[in-house]
């Protein structure tokens, strides 16, 4: 049995006895055998790839909180928690802690355009109204633009429903700004295909729904509908085809009224934290927990673009699943219980974790520590957090990991991580405290719980649709999971609480 020698400790199961090296360890790491070996070896790069390929794949559509892809991801994680034998501690004997969200959009089945009579069929119109029903009639004005155009007659658009037709399919930011500075009643941009209206997700209960501040209704209209309106208004047939000089615009106004109707569709949104518990072995200490967390959500999809979120934070969620399997596979459990959490709404402001600490399933004073796994799957390169004075090089970061916040509340916690890292082999960096408040651990730290945030650093793919599975270093995910497994196993066996030497603010 190995006893760690720094600070106050109890003996914990031996980490090394024989010259065996796990395939995922970095060069120079000590071998793990004995009582912790089976769990350690259960962490698998190939399995991690399988997990992440689903979470960051087409089925989950970027895991946007409140979107269908997030619910699929939550069900996937809950299914793995069940498979690994974790105790369901959520609602109704399951693995979910529901977090109140609602969503709204313009109902595509209740949006219409009239120019004398109803124009076309459904899916001719998609609008953003700020959550307000629209029923307005006003003269229509057409603006045709080419390139980086300016408005030729902005005053001619006041009081009108404006339809913008772009020769190259683009409307410049400048022109869009000009349009919204007019007193137009509504602004619609013509497109060949009108996409399904996107949902706007908000925190809170459905009964708390309130429209946004008054805005100019805007959106897209199909070219089919544009042609029908032009025909009904008897506008010259060459308006859409006559030559238009580069970077210029043409406006046709003073026409008869058209009518635009749109109705808001609103409903509760599926959003939840996924929670599971591995009960500890000590009849008294099992009432306390050591915890690991990651955020399950990413930026989702807007209907045309998907943000897969492979590293942010599919990698962390994958690591949590591997850690759960490691603990469940090991024949010896720690004295304290282990709490596993994947949060919703992190990308919207740490909402899921904020809800948990306000409604804890395990009392916060029984939570010994938390390790947060957020972006643990890339070899960082490029400017870090936008700072051009901190440029990472790819070739220098195959075996690095940032530790964020690990010394703020409990230096002892950081010491333990350093000690167990001899069996993993990370080269730790402590240069990312500027992201300390930007992941879910912060809500626990604000409540005085010792935290450590594993974070691999930034790449140019951060918050881009290019954050994809093919760029992931699965060896790094496996090692991040192994480090967490050994750390929580150690803290889970301590006699007393971690020493506090600071606050989490």
Tens digit of pLDDT for each residue in 59-110? 999 999 999 999 999 999 999 999 999 999 999 999 999 999 999 999 988 8
pLDDT at 231: 87
Q: What tokens appear for 491 in the block?
A: 């803290």
The pLDDT confidence band at residue 122, using thresholds 50, 70 and 90, is low
- Residue 204, Cβ neighbours under 10 Å: how many? 12
Q: Are 51 and 456 in contact (CB under 8 A)?
A: no
Average pLDDT for 474-499: 97
Average pLDDT for 442-470: 98
Q: Are 251 and 141 in contact (CB under 8 A)?
A: yes
Percent of the chain whose predicted confidence (pLDDT) is above 90: 77
Whether residue 390 is predicted with pLDDT greater than 50 in this model: the reply is: yes
3-state secondary structure of 116: coil
The pLDDT confidence band at residue 11, using thresholds 50, 70 and 90, is very low
Whether residue 432 is predicted with pLDDT greater than 90 in this model: the reply is: yes
Q: What residue ranges do the domains of the chain occupy?
A: 34-99+271-491, 103-267
HSE, side-chain direction, 13 A CA sphere, residue 33: 8
The pLDDT confidence band at residue 20, using thresholds 50, 70 and 90, is very low
pLDDT at 21: 37
User: Which residues share a beta bridge with 87?
Assistant: 277
| Average pLDDT taken over every residue of the chain | 91
The pLDDT confidence band at residue 234, using thresholds 50, 70 and 90, is confident
Q: Are 102 and 269 in contact (CB under 8 A)?
A: yes
Average pLDDT for 425-447: 97
CATH number of 103-267: 3.50.30
The pLDDT confidence band at residue 44, using thresholds 50, 70 and 90, is very high
* Triad 289, 291, 293: Cα angle to 5°: 155
Spatial distance between the Cα atoms of 318 and 444, rounded to a whole number of angstroms:
21
Burial class (CB in 10 A: 0-12, 13-18, 19+), 206: middle
pLDDT at 2: 31
The pLDDT confidence band at residue 47, using thresholds 50, 70 and 90, is very high
Q: 3-class secondary structure for 302-354?
A: CCCCEECCHHHHHHHHHHHHHHHHHHHHCCCCCCCEEEEEEECCHHHCCHHHH
Closest CA to 456 of 439, 493, 117: 439
Tell me the pLDDT tens digit for each residue of 405-414: 999 999 999 9
Average pLDDT for 374-382: 98
Tell me the pLDDT tens digit for each residue of 245-304: 888 888 888 788 999 999 999 999 989 999 999 999 999 999 999 999 999 999 999 878
pLDDT at 245: 87
Whether residue 113 is predicted with pLDDT greater than 60 in this model: the reply is: yes
pLDDT at 121: 58
Cis peptide before 174 (omega within 30 of 0): no
pLDDT at 22: 41
pLDDT at 310: 98
Average pLDDT for 144-162: 91
- Non-local CB neighbours of 282 within 8 Å, separated by 6+ positions: 335, 336
The pLDDT confidence band at residue 19, using thresholds 50, 70 and 90, is very low
What are the DSSP calls for 429-440, one per residue? Answer: E---GGGTTSST
Please provide the size of the chain in residues. 505
pLDDT at 18: 32
- Non-local CB neighbours of 445 within 8 Å, separated by 6+ positions: 405, 408, 409, 451, 504, 505
- In this predicted model, which residue has the larger pLDDT, 241 or 212? 241
Average pLDDT for 237-241: 81
Average pLDDT for 203-223: 89
Spatial distance between the Cα atoms of 209 and 202, rounded to a whole number of angstroms:
9
Closest CA to 266 of 208, 223, 185: 208
Spatial distance between the Cα atoms of 276 and 78, rounded to a whole number of angstroms:
8
In angstroms, the Cα distances linking 466 to 247, 284, 460 are 32, 48, 9
Closest CA to 394 of 436, 456, 454: 456
| pTM for the structure as a whole | 0.88
The pLDDT confidence band at residue 238, using thresholds 50, 70 and 90, is confident
Tell me the pLDDT tens digit for each residue of 318-337: 999 999 999 999 999 999 99
pLDDT at 329: 97
Q: What tokens appear for 415 in the block?
A: 């010491």
pLDDT at 348: 96
Closest CA to 319 of 475, 450, 207: 475
CATH topology of domain 34-99+271-491: Aminopeptidase (3.40.630)
pLDDT at 10: 36
Tell me the pLDDT tens digit for each residue of 336-375: 999 999 999 999 999 999 999 999 999 999 999 999 999 9
HSE, side-chain direction, 13 A CA sphere, residue 160: 25
User: Which residues share a beta bridge with 163?
Assistant: 142, 188
- Residue 307 φ then ψ, to 5°: -105, 100
Spatial distance between the Cα atoms of 287 and 487, rounded to a whole number of angstroms:
19
Whether residue 136 is predicted with pLDDT greater than 70 in this model: the reply is: yes
Which region among 8-17, 54-63, 154-163 has the lowest average model confidence (pLDDT)? 8-17
Percent of the chain whose predicted confidence (pLDDT) is above 70: 94
């Amino acid at each position: 049995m190995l006893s760690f020698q720094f600070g106050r400790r109890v003996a914990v199961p031996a980490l090394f006895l024989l010259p065996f090296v796990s395939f995922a360890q970095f060069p120079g790491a000590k071998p793990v055998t004995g009582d912790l070996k089976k769990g350690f070896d259960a962490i698998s790069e190939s399995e991690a790839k399988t997990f992440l390929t689903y979470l960051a794949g087409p089925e989950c559509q970027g895991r946007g909180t409140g979107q269908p892809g997030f619910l699929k991801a939550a069900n996937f994680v809950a299914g793995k928690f069940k498979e690994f034998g974790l105790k369901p501690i959520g609602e109704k004997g399951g693995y979910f802690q529901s977090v109140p969200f609602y969503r709204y959009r313009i109902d595509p089945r209740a949006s219409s355009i009239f120019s004398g009579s109803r124009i076309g069929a459904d899916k001719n119109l998609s609008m953003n109204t700020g959550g307000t029903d629209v029923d307005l009639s006003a003269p229509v004005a057409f603006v045709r633009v080419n390139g980086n155009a300016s408005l030729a007659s902005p005053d001619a658009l006041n009081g009108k429903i404006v339809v913008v037709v772009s020769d190259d399919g683009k409307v410049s930011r400048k022109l869009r700004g000009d349009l919204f500075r007019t007193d137009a009643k509504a602004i619609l941009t013509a497109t060949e295909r009108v996409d399904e209206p996107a949902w706007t997700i908000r925190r809170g209960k459905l009964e708390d729904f309130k429209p946004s501040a008054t805005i100019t209704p805007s959106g897209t209209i199909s070219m089919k509908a544009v042609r029908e309106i032009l025909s009904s208004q008897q506008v010259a047939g060459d308006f859409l085809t006559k030559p238009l000089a580069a970077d210029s615009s043409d406006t046709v106004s003073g026409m008869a009224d058209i009518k635009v109707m749109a109705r808001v569709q609103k409903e509760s949104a599926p959003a939840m934290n996924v929670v599971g518990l591995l009960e500890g072995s000590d009849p008294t200490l099992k009432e306390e927990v050591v915890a690991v967390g990651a955020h399950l959500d990413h930026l989702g999809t807007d209907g045309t673009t998907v943000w897969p979120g492979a590293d942010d934070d599919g990698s962390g969620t994958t690591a949590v699943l591997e850690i759960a399997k490691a603990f469940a596979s090991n024949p010896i459990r720690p004295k304290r219980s282990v709490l596993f959490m994947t949060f919703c709404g992190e990308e919207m402001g740490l909402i899921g974790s904020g809800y948990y600490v306000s409604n804890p399933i395990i009392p916060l004073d029984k939570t010994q520590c938390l390790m947060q796994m957020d972006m643990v799957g890339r070899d960082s390169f490029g400017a870090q957090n936008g700072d051009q004075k901190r440029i990472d090089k790819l070739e220098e970061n195959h075996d690095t990991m940032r530790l964020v916040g690990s010394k703020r509340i409990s230096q002892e916690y950081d010491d333990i991580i350093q000690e167990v890292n001899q069996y993993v082999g990370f080269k730790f960096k402590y240069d990312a405290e500027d992201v300390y408040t930007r992941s879910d651990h912060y809500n626990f730290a604000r409540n005085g719980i010792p935290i450590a945030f594993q974070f691999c650093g930034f790449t140019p793919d951060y918050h881009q649709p290019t954050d994809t599975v093919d760029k992931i270093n699965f060896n790094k995910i496996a090692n991040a999971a192994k480090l967490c497994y050994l750390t929580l196993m150690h803290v889970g066996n301590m006699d007393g609480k971690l020493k506090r030497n600071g606050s989490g603010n």
